[in-house]
């Protein structure tokens, strides 16, 4: 039996302490928001230093959210936009990623370089041209103006391409010998083996567009067509009751769906990053 070195134990203990402190620092703001959502007095939320101890617990803040803004309409709009974009990206990114990983065609390297280069262009640079395009085709102030810009993802193409490159080429060659075409091979062999990477892309995509504020703020003018992030801004601004507890309740209601998805699917993210060669 190999002896455990004291230095190794000390290193592991130090790593655990550092990670525990980092986890607490990340979780503390969320815990404070959750605690504020059930607070019956704003005075507790203004207390310095902040504390997680709560008195006069109440669920009335959640009812006030739905009274002040059309919360469930915002929620439905966010589900439609985020869900539609996620499904579209899973289709476009998986097919494009497979093409870059396995197919041979002229200009593939240059085209892939363009795709990767687009990652360096922030959406703030393209928001004005994008608005003008949507305005020309008459899609502003509709949910389509939010869905169309997110159909493709350079990051998603890169992520799935890296995963497809790790799959044994012999599987596709065997399928070709059995008479399977490229599409049948992709649908019947490649996709079933790519569950973790596809699930990871879905989680990342859904979370990003669920939390997106800039695009709805620019493209949508009608309140009943806004998404949840803009709705929370309205809750803290135009429709504010002046209560921090109400705002905290609205934020909590917006965080919980994404948090539940992430908790149940986080293992897919770890598996996908390990197989794609990305470094944390």
**pLDDT mean across residues, the chain:** 83
Residues 141 and 45 placed together within one structural domain of the fold? no
Please, which pLDDT band fits residue 58 given cuts at 50, 70 and 90?
confident
Arithmetic mean of pLDDT, 230-240: 79
Residue 256: predicted pLDDT: 82
Residues 48 and 75 placed together within one structural domain of the fold? no
What DSSP character marks residue 151? Answer: S
Residues 120 and 2 placed together within one structural domain of the fold? no
The token duo for 252 is: 């909590």
Question: What's the CATH number where 115 sits?
Answer: 1.10.3720.10
Residues 250 and 155 placed together within one structural domain of the fold? yes
Residue 54 forms part of a structural domain: yes
3-state secondary structure of 32: helix
Q: Which of 22, 23, 53, 57 lies closest to 40, judged by CA?
A: 57
Please, which pLDDT band fits residue 271 given cuts at 50, 70 and 90?
low
Residue 115, φ and ψ in degrees, nearest 5? -60, -45
Residue 239: predicted pLDDT: 67
Q: Do 232 and 254 touch, CB atoms closer than 8 A? A: yes
Residues 82 and 52 placed together within one structural domain of the fold? no
Please, which pLDDT band fits residue 277 given cuts at 50, 70 and 90?
very low
Find which of 21-35, 125-139, 249-263 is predicted with most confidence, using mean pLDDT: 125-139
176-180, 220-224, 239-243, 269-273: least confidently modelled range:
269-273
Residues 161 and 267 placed together within one structural domain of the fold? yes
The token duo for 68 is: 């002040």
Residue 125: predicted pLDDT: 86
Residues 154 and 193 placed together within one structural domain of the fold? yes
Query: How far is CA 256 from its chain centroid?
Result: 13
pLDDT value at 275 more than 80: no
Residue 65 forms part of a structural domain: no
Residues 109 and 175 placed together within one structural domain of the fold? yes
pLDDT value at 268 more than 50: yes
Burial category of 206 from C-beta neighbours within 10 Å (exposed 0-12, middle 13-18, buried 19 and up): buried
Residue 86: predicted pLDDT: 93
CA distances from 232 to 58, 145, 194 (A): 20, 20, 36
Give percent of the chain with pLDDT exceeding 70. Answer: 86
Residues 49 and 96 placed together within one structural domain of the fold? no
Residue 64 forms part of a structural domain: no
CA distance 237 to 7: 55
Residues 89 and 18 placed together within one structural domain of the fold? no
Cβ-proximal residues to 277 (8 Å cutoff; 6+ apart), any chain:
162, 166
Domain finish residue from 58, 81, 101: 58
Return the higher-pLDDT residue of 12 and 237.
12
pLDDT value at 6 more than 70: no
pLDDT value at 85 more than 90: yes
Residue 278: predicted pLDDT: 45
Long-range pairs for 208-216 at CB < 8 Å and ≥24 separation? 209/81, 209/82, 209/85, 209/86, 209/146, 209/150, 210/78, 210/82, 210/257, 210/258, 211/258, 212/146, 214/123, 214/124, 214/127, 215/123, 215/127, 215/145, 215/146, 215/149, 216/81, 216/146
The predicted-structure confidence for 104-143, as pLDDT tens digits, reads as follows: 888 888 999 999 888 888 888 888 899 999 999 988 889 9
Residues 193 and 249 placed together within one structural domain of the fold? yes
Domain finish residue from 58, 91, 106: 58
Q: How many other CB atoms are there within 10 angstroms of residue 52's CB atom?
A: 10
Arithmetic mean of pLDDT, 27-45: 77
pLDDT value at 178 more than 90: no
Residue 66 forms part of a structural domain: no
Residue 279: predicted pLDDT: 45
CA distance 106 to 275: 28
| Count of structural domains within the chain | 2
Residue 252 forms part of a structural domain: yes
Residue 104: predicted pLDDT: 85
Burial category of 177 from C-beta neighbours within 10 Å (exposed 0-12, middle 13-18, buried 19 and up): exposed
Q: Provide the domain limits for residue 194.
A: 71-276
Arithmetic mean of pLDDT, 168-176: 84
Return the higher-pLDDT residue of 95 and 44.
95
Residue 63 forms part of a structural domain: no
């Amino acid at each position: 039996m190999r002896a455990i070195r004291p230095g190794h134990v000390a290193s592991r203990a130090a790593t655990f302490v550092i990670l525990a402190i980092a986890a607490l620092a990340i979780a503390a703001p969320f815990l404070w928001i959750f605690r504020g959502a059930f607070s019956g007095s704003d005075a507790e939320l203004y207390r310095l230093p902040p504390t997680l101890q709560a008195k006069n617990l109440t669920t009335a803040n959640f009812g006030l959210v739905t009274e002040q803004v059309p919360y469930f309409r915002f929620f439905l709009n966010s589900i439609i936009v985020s869900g539609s974009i996620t499904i579209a990206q899973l289709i476009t990114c998986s097919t494009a990623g497979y093409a870059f990983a396995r197919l041979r065609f002229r200009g593939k390297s240059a085209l892939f370089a363009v795709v990767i280069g687009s990652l360096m262009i922030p959406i703030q640079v393209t928001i004005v041209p994008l608005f003008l395009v949507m305005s020309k085709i008459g899609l502003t102030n509709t949910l389509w103006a939010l869905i169309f810009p997110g159909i493709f993802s350079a990051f998603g193409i890169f992520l799935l391409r890296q995963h497809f490159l790790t799959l044994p080429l012999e599987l596709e060659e065997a399928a070709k010998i059995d008479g399977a075409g490229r599409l049948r091979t992709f649908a019947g062999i490649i996709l079933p083996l790519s569950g973790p990477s596809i699930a990871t892309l879905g989680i990342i995509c859904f979370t990003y567009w669920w939390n997106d504020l800039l695009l709805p703020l620019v493209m949508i003018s009608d309140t009943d067509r806004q998404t949840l992030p803009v709705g929370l801004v309205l809750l803290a601004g135009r429709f504010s009751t002046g209560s921090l507890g109400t705002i905290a309740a609205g934020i909590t209601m917006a965080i919980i769906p994404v948090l539940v998805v992430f908790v149940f699917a986080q293992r897919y993210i770890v598996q996908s990053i390990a197989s794609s060669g990305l470094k944390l």
